[in-house]
Amino acid sequence: MLRVDKVRKAFQGFQAVADANLTVPSGMVTAVIGPNGAGKSTLFNLITGHLQSDSGQILFQEENIAGLPPHAITRKGIGRSFQLINIFQRLTVFENIKAALIAREGKTMNFFLPARRLFNDEVWDILGEFGLADFAERSASLMSYGDQKVLEIAIALATKPKLLLLDEPTAGMSPEETRKIVQLIKRLSCDQGLTILLTEHDMELVFDVAQRIMVLHQGRTIAEGLPEDVRRDAGVRSAYLGEAI
């Protein structure tokens, strides 16, 4: 579904992504792992058009999307959640989902037009599907961090992406919140066949959910393949300085 080929990105001379290669097969969960500062978020921002690569190719369903703006890439079918929560804190949970649906239709946001009521059934469906119905009228800022992340993923899915990118979806979460996210990832992948690309620092989680792993180290891809092969890779082991992975 996605292929990243020799992609590079420098910030004022600092090579954040030096040589990244990645294959994301359709219908699988693929994880990009690597120490803090390895370039994972930068790579995601390159894929979604939030940053422009200096060179290399990013092929989404055989089409080079490098250089396209974020909204064009969203329209082609790539949805994402950010490493930090990216929702409208002052809107209710209901309004957040509704805003996403309106944005999907490419219309400007106006909650007061009667036509906007058309979305209400779909909003309730989504709230039900993600277990958020009880929070519908609540301000998003009052939800737990874990529930805000679920909302963020629900918003990303409102655009009906073919590929969902999740940047450290469980960062800063309690074990219970983490379990919720893991179940959600598995449900989206197994039941709905969604293709997912994620970054994650929790290795236990990575080996639990990912069918394929790419290891980024100082901006370079140093290993890519099946989880068990990556785990045994000598280069990966030395990059993690003997940490258990």
Report in angstroms how near the CB of residue 160 gets to ligand ADP at its nearest.
Answer: 27
Q: Which of 30, 41, 81, 96 forms a contact with Mg ion (CB under 5 A)? A: 41
- Contact stretch for Mg ion (CB under 5 A) within 41-49, 66-74, 110-118, 137-145: 41-49
The distance of closest approach from Cβ of residue 78 to ligand ADP in the complex, given in angstroms and rounded to an integer, is 18
* Ramachandran angles phi, psi of 228, nearest 5°: -65, -35
Write out the two tokens for 120: 């209400």
At closest approach, how far in Å is the CB of 18 from ligand ADP? 10
186 Cβ partners below 8 Å, 6+ apart? 209
Site for ligand ADP (CB under 6 A): which residue of 16, 31, 68, 97?
A: 16
> 159: Cβ–Cβ under 8 A, 6 or more apart, which residues?
74, 79, 100, 103, 104
Q: What is d(CA 112, CA 60) in angstroms, rounded to the nearest whole number?
A: 37
Between 74 and 113, how does the x/- string for binding to Mg ion read (CB under 5 A)?
---------x------------------------------
CA distance 79 to 154: 10
Binding mask 32-71 for ligand ADP (x = CB under 6 A): --x-xxxxxxx-----------------------------
Which stretches within 18-119 are classed as H helix?
A: 40-47, 70-76, 93-104
Contacting residues toward ligand ADP, per CB under 6 A: 11, 14, 16, 34, 36-42
